[in-house]
Amino acid sequence: MSGPGDTDARTALARWLRRLMLRSELSERDAELVLSLPGTFRSTAAGRDFVRLGERVAASCIISRGLAARFGQNRDGLRQLTAVHLPGDAADLHSAVLPESESALTALSDVTIYQVPHEAVHQAAQASPALARAFWRDCTVDASIAGEWLLSLGRRDASSRLAHLFCEMALRSGVAGAGQDRFELPMTQEQLGDALGLTAVHVNRMLRLLREAGIAAKVGTTVEILDWARLAEVGDFDDAYLHLRRERPATGGSAPPTPGAGG
Amino acid sequence: MSGPGDTDARTALARWLRRLMLRSELSERDAELVLSLPGTFRSTAAGRDFVRLGERVAASCIISRGLAARFGQNRDGLRQLTAVHLPGDAADLHSAVLPESESALTALSDVTIYQVPHEAVHQAAQASPALARAFWRDCTVDASIAGEWLLSLGRRDASSRLAHLFCEMALRSGVAGAGQDRFELPMTQEQLGDALGLTAVHVNRMLRLLREAGIAAKVGTTVEILDWARLAEVGDFDDAYLHLRRERPATGGSAPPTPGAGG
DNA sequence: CGCCAGATTGAGGACGCTCAATTCTGGTGG
DNA sequence: CCACCAGAATTGAGCGTCCTCAATCTGGCG
């Protein structure tokens, strides 16, 4: 269990804190409460599930390195990802208030997580109402993303779903602000299919479609965005649901997100 | 704005409180904080949207009467419901921490809601950490339901989705505990399609399928469940995600939910 | 009685799945 | 340096679920 002085822990927590502060007003004292959250590091190999179905968990996971995902399974064992989490995300902060998880967590790539005991989360929340609200808000943003995924699965076709996911992961990776046109997405086509409600075979075809249209290409674990505007167009993408900006313009338009330098 | 003495308001809030207490430990004082939440009643006709897309809301809605739903729309205006709310549900409690709603609320049937100003929600949460946690937890249960819907949309076929929705709405309506075999579901086939990611035409065919198989029938606004076991079987249903019981058995089985008296 | 929203049914077509074969890639050991 | 291997990616052919378009039917209501 890491103490307040642990540098690695503070580094991992700092990334999460930055995300929290993007969306909530937090005092210096609140920040210190977050940065000094106790916990333990744990690594998991790609493809391994680290929270099993129906398990009762006693700690929340902050992703420190790699890509993790929440998923459910149907009768036939087919998986459906319900959330993907990047470094700096709290993958299951909500388990602090609902420890009986009815979904599981899996490592999409090799992953390192920082596990904070629920007790510590509650103590921090109790010590600061503003922090309690920030935790709640963080979970709410995840719910907002889930809502957008529902829209994708229910009302968008395969190519649109894939393009939409690329847009989302690009923005969440923080590339758009930096004007970049590529980001890491260490997911196999099988895993992409599980995220999009498609088969790996069809994901492959849709990747080819985007590549041959000069819109985006996935090479190895990196996605290269060749045409931001058309990617957002195909993906029917509006970044409002990600709540990445503290204040967003009143216009409800579906403008492409801060396009990077095109070609 | 209703005051603490308003009987109708207390009645509406009491139903929500019962739901909160199902999942959290709340003191007498916490209960009174909830029951005395100020607000105003408002009615909306079936088919009308009462929170529009991108609108910034200043109050949370407790459903008092009727059926309401959250939804998103794709580029073509096709709707996808992301949540359905019954009387006693807080339809957008989360808006208290994330007022910029990127989804909208619509009245599936004639609806009466009790609108509680966000300010009041925050005051109550600030006055009682246990209550703050209960609010957070309530939102988390909604997120859990959204996760299960993702699984349905991504990995279940049309008949399974419909059967699953029937199971969920039956349990949430509180019929299973009462051993009943019918419940009100005032949704058109169009609306069911929007919930399930299907067209109204195909919903119609799936309804016929369930009816002709002697599993369930929708007559007007009521659903009659003819065979609980087979409905849960077809719907691939496990009620854990609803978190309706305070403690649930450690077995992760997919047992049908307290079947009503058959035939 | 006319009107309208919702429900019902049919026929044809498209999107995504299944099954299967093959190629590519990175890692391991001889 | 190369053979070997497993996992992943790629491609083809055929098929099934669900969609589209369209017509008809039903019940409530003015």
Concatenated DSSP letters for B8-42? HHHHHHHHHHHHHHHHS---HHHHHHHHT--BEEE
- The mean pLDDT value for B203-224 works out to 97
Q: pLDDT value at position B257?
A: 45
Residue A4, classed as helix, strand or coil, is coil
- Taking the C-alpha atoms of residue A68 and residue A89, their distance in angstroms, rounded to an integer, is 10
Check pLDDT > 90 for residue B23. Answer: no
Binary contact (A132, B147; C-beta < 8 A): no
Predicted local distance difference test score (pLDDT) of residue B177? 57
Question: Which of A24-33, A206-215, B104-113, B179-188 is predicted with the least confidence, judged by mean pLDDT?
Answer: B179-188
Cα distance between residue A224 and residue A180, in whole Å: 9
Structure tokens at B243: 């978190």
Residue of A nearest to B133 (CA): A97
Residue A128 is predicted with a pLDDT of: 96
Nearest nucleic acid nucleotide to B199, CA to C1' distance: D19
Please determine, for residue A253, whether its predicted confidence score (pLDDT) is greater than 50: no
Check pLDDT > 80 for residue A220: yes
Residue B117 pairs in a beta bridge with B59
Q: What is the DSSP letter of A58?
A: S
Nearest partner of B80 among A224, A151, A104, A196, judged by Cα: A151
Distance CA B192, CA B188 (A): 6
Could you give the percent of chain B with pLDDT greater than 70?
A: 90
Smallest CA–CA distance, residue A240 to chain B, in Å, is: 7
CB B35 within 8 A of CB B104: no
Distance B117 CA to D24 C1' (A): 49
**How far is the C-alpha of A112 from the C-alpha of B164, rounded, in Å?**
36
CB-proximal positions of chain C, under 7 Å? 5-11, 15-20, 26
Looking at residue B176, its pLDDT comes to 65
Q: Sorting pLDDT into bands at 50, 70 and 90, what band is A246?
A: low
Q: Report DSSP letters for B211-263, one per residue.
A: HHTTSEEEETTEEEES-HHHHHHHHT--GGGG--SSS--S------SSPPPP-
Residue B124 has pLDDT above 80, yes or no: yes
* pLDDT computed for residue B247 by the predictor: 56
Q: At residue B261, does pLDDT exceed 50?
A: no
> With bands split at pLDDT 50, 70 and 90, how would you rate the model's confidence at B113?
very high
pLDDT value at B250 more than 50: no
User: Is residue A11 pLDDT above 70, yes or no?
Assistant: yes
| Least confident window among A103-112, A238-247, B247-256 | B247-256
Q: What is the mean pLDDT of residues A52-79?
A: 95
Distance from the A49 Cα atom to the nearest Cα atom in chain B, whole angstroms: 17
Counting Cβ atoms within 10 Å, is residue B108 exposed (0-12), middle (13-18) or buried (19+)? buried
- What six digits make up the tokens of B217? 């029938």
- What does DSSP say about strands B40-44 and B111-117: parallel, antiparallel, or unpaired? antiparallel
Contact B143 A141 (CB under 8 A): no
The pLDDT value recorded for residue B259 is 40
Task: Supply A162's token pair.
Answer: 């894939």
Split at pLDDT 50, 70, 90, the class of B121 is very high
Looking at residue B174, its pLDDT comes to 87
CB A242 within 8 A of CB A145: yes
Distance CA B189, CA B203 (A): 6
Contacting residues 183-202/A vs strand C (CB within 7 A): 193, 197-199, 201-202
CB B124 within 8 A of CB B16: no
Q: B223 pLDDT band (50/70/90 cuts)?
A: very high
Whole-angstrom distance, CA of residue A12 vs CA of residue A64: 5
Residues of B in contact with A193 (CB under 8 A): none
Q: Let me know: does A91 contact A113? Beta carbons within 8 Å.
A: yes
Task: Tell if B221 CB is < 7 Å from nucleic strand D.
Answer: no
Half-sphere exposure in the Cβ direction for A204 (13 Å, CA): 5
Q: Quick check: B29 pLDDT over 60?
A: yes
| DSSP state for residue B92 in the 8-state scheme | T
Strand partners, A8: none
**What is the Cα–Cα distance from B139 to B94, expressed in whole angstroms?**
6
Q: Is the CB of B236 under 7 A from strand D?
A: no
The answer to whether the CB of B181 falls within 8 A of the CB of A111 is no
pLDDT at B118 over 70: yes
A219 compared with A251, residue with greater pLDDT: A219
Question: Percentage of residues in chain A with pLDDT exceeding 70?
Answer: 90
CB atoms within 10 A of CB B56: 9
A48 close to A106: Cβ distance less than 8 angstroms: yes
Cα-Cα-Cα-Cα torsion A137, A139, A145, A149, nearest 10 degrees, comes to -150
For residue B252, the chain A residues in CB contact (below 8 A) are: 53-54
Residue A4 CB partners (closer than 8 Å, separation 6+)? A35, A36, A38
Confidence of residue B54 (pLDDT cuts 50, 70, 90): confident
Q: Which of A71, A137, A140 to mutate to test the interface with B (most CBs of B within 10 A)?
A: A140
Do B80 and A140 lie within an 8 Å CB cutoff? no
Name the amino acid, one letter, at A164: H
Average pLDDT of the segment spanning B139-161: 98
SS3 A238: coil
The alpha carbon of residue A7 is apart from the nearest alpha carbon of chain B, in Å, by: 30
Q: Letter for the amino acid at B116?
A: V
Residue numbers in B 169-188, CB below 7 Å of strand C:
188
* Mean pLDDT (whole number) for B238-263: 58
Bases of strand D lying below 7 A from some protein CB: 7-13, 17-22
Per-residue pLDDT, averaged over A73-97, amounts to 97
Is B80 within 8 Å of A137 when comparing Cβ atoms?
A: no
Q: For chain A, how big is the Rg over CA atoms in Å?
A: 18
B109 touches strand D (CB under 7 A): no
The DSSP bridge pattern shows strands B59-65 and A216-219 to be unpaired
